[in-house]
Amino acid sequence: MYADTEFGGTTGLMDVEAVQKTLNRSRASVYRYANTDLEQLNPPFNPKRLNPELRQSPNDPLMFHSNEVARFAKEVLKIKQVTIEIQEPQPNHTQEVLEAILVELKSIHELLKSRSS
């Protein structure tokens, strides 16, 4: 099983497409497996369903923790061999710019801290 990471920090979260590929099931199947409810934004944990991460809004995309996908595959789908592998994302320009900004902000912070001492 594969889970993406976000901006260099491992989140272990998977979107519906990643779960679909991992479980080798259709997109519709993933939605049927998901523990969702139109009446309740974040329904209680259901061991027989694929439980998404908590959402702030009904418009937020469904995201699943890789450990939850592995649990569901083993316990519900009875897939015997389940392996979770976290893959680092390919570097992109946006990530590089954000990392450069972070480095610059840290150096400004250190400079201001040293001047106030």
Q: What does the pLDDT look like over 82-105, one tens digit per residue?
A: 776 666 667 788 888 999 999 999
- What secondary structure letter does DSSP report for 91? P
Please name the residue that has the structure tokens 């912070």: 109
Which of 8, 12, 28, 11 has the alpha carbon at shortest distance from 70? 12
Which residues, including other chains, have CB under 8 Å from residue 74's CB and lie 6 or more apart? 80, 82
Residue 50, strand partner residues: 34
Q: Above 50 in pLDDT, residue 46?
A: yes
Per-residue confidence band for 3, with pLDDT thresholds at 50, 70 and 90: very low
Which of 25, 16, 39 has the alpha carbon at shortest distance from 76? 25
